[in-house]
Amino acid sequence: MTALLAWAAVSDLRARRIPNTLVLTLAALGLVYVVIARQSPSALIGWGGGLLVGFALWIPLHVLGMLGAGDVKLFAAAAAWFGPLGAVRGALLSAIVGGLLSLLFMVWTRTSGATFRRLGSWAVVAASGGWKAPPPASQATHQLPYGVAMAVGLALAWWLPQLLPLR
């Protein structure tokens, strides 16, 4: 799984896309892993639950144009290895890593001022009772390849689950 997550991160950095073949391979190997590791019929339920929870956690951000479809599919495929609770852990760690990388990315690309102005305008509209969806990710001049944050967050959840103990 870690090698496939690294491949996804590199692909997202280089081409700003995550290949479907990688996502399908990750999901299929996750199924093989849970069947072999758990050796019970409930393994399929955990695999499917992780896939569904992983998808459900991130699809709203894709619908709002804030996240690419490849990122959502990558996370869902990797979350199948974890099961539902592990998917939540992975999502929280990915969000933390994503926040840190976003701050670094804003400094690196010198877009922090524009980003904070955009966030401020959304906050004002939301506070006034209105809702203005953010521009689709394809319109952004500078984008963080969020597959990198997801890959790191998922790897942390896999190798160091004690970082965020959930019960």
Q: How confident is the model over 30-49, as pLDDT tens digits?
A: 999 999 998 888 899 999 99
**Tens-place pLDDT, residues 52-90:** 999 999 999 999 888 999 999 999 999 999 999 999 999
Q: How confident is the model at residue 137 (pLDDT cuts 50, 70, 90)?
A: very low
Q: Where are the alpha helices (DSSP H) in 2-145?
A: 2-15, 20-38, 42-63, 69-82, 84-109, 112-127
Give CA–CA dist 107/65, Å, rounded.
Answer: 23
Question: Taking a C-beta distance cutoff of 8 angstroms, is the pair 8, 147 a contact?
Answer: yes
Find the domain containing 120 and state its range.
2-163
Residue 7: pLDDT over 60: yes
pLDDT of residue 158: 95
Residue 127: pLDDT over 90: no
Name the more confident of 157 and 40.
Answer: 157
Give CA–CA dist 50/1, Å, rounded.
Answer: 15
> How many other CB atoms are found less than 10 A from the CB of residue 15?
11
Q: For 13-17, 41-45, 75-79, 155-159, which range has the lowest pLDDT when averaged over its residues?
A: 41-45
Q: How confident is the model at residue 138 (pLDDT cuts 50, 70, 90)?
A: very low
Residue with tokens 């689950």: 161
Domain tally, the chain: 1
Q: For 18-32, 54-68, 88-102, 123-137, which range has the lowest pLDDT when averaged over its residues?
A: 123-137
